[in-house]
Amino acid sequence: MSQNTPPSSPALGPPAAERGRAVGPETLRLRLDLAYDGGGFSGWAAQPGLRTVEGELTAALEAVTRVPVRLTVAGRTDAGVHAAAQVAHLDLPVAVWQRLPGRSGREPGEALLSRLAGVLAHRCQQSGPPGTPRGSCDVVVHGVAVVGEGFDARFSALERRYTYRVCDRPSQRDPAQRHRVLWVPGELDVAAMAASARPLLGEHDFLSYCKPRAGASTIRTLRHLEWRRASEGPEAGLVTLTVVADAFCHSMVRALVGAGLAVGQGRQGPDWPGELLAARTRQGAAPVAPPHGLTLEAVSYPPDEELAAQAARARVLRTNCC
């Protein structure tokens, strides 16, 4: 895939329902496709005493299935970050799957979707953001599919795509979108921002753009990084960053945004993001942009027969690059 063109892949989106095979003779693996408004969550990962996407979804699944559930997710989003197309998987006993429809006559997947919607909406009314409209919810499961044992929502993924949205013109600020778009004072130099992004493409050690975790690599392959001002459509006038990589380190996308904004606002020159990358240091690391402007837009996967091999490759710790 060219680093200068955005990706297009038929692998984006869920596989056909019921196409997979059982993980074992008594267990099925299920893929969930979901979306959420991150504003009311303390991130994806379950944390004691905090409302998280994983916590809410796990509680809803366990209420419906009446068995313990463990979720694996494609992207562990930070607090306040949204998702339009998140992917997760779980393993469920075949007997539990088969009894989900009850006497309704529906397919198990359809029954699970319907019952999850009701439980999630009820939980949102009880503990979600104040003022949530009755019957609505800030996390929605759009699809359920039985997949093969080679599918892993995290490690089988080929790439993730995020978009960060910025409004730099007061006349175009939309109050209804203020929780999904960063407002900044003064017009940004988008041309300088676009130029500053080019040296970051490819495989690099992104230590200067990450909050490293013990035992984890900060080497990533950045496949697409584009700052542009939308010229048409519902986002006309907004400045957007589209970023695609095989995977991202903790806070990496928001650090890439922060570096671009520093250039666009004239606080740093166009060469600074590349120089910061080359420094490979946490000293003077890239500033991290606020979370609410960021949305996970898509996760792509290889064909079914390549899922297990991709997962095996992704599990290998990268220790050198370039």
Binding-site residues from annotation: 162
Give the rounded distance of the alpha carbon of 211 from its chain centre.
Answer: 17
Residue 130's CB is within 10 A of a number of other CB atoms, namely 5
Rounded CA gap, 105 and 193, in Å? Answer: 55
Crossing angle, helix 272-279 and helix 252-264, to 10 degrees?
Answer: 140
Which residue in 33, 78, 152, 304 is the catalytic one? 78
- What one-character DSSP code corresponds to residue 286? P
Rounded CA gap, 208 and 275, in Å? Answer: 10
Buried b (16+ CB within 10 A) or exposed e, 57-90: bbbbbebbbeeebebbbbbebbbbbbbebbbbbb
DSSP structure string for 31-60: EEEEEE-GGGSS-SS--TTS--HHHHHHHH
304 given a catalytic annotation: no
Cα 262 to Cα 39, 41, 180, 308, distances in angstroms: 24, 28, 20, 41
What residue numbers does the annotated binding site for substrate cover? 162
Q: Which residues contact 121 (CB under 8 A, 6 or more apart)?
A: 135, 136, 137
The residues annotated with a catalytic role in the active site are 78
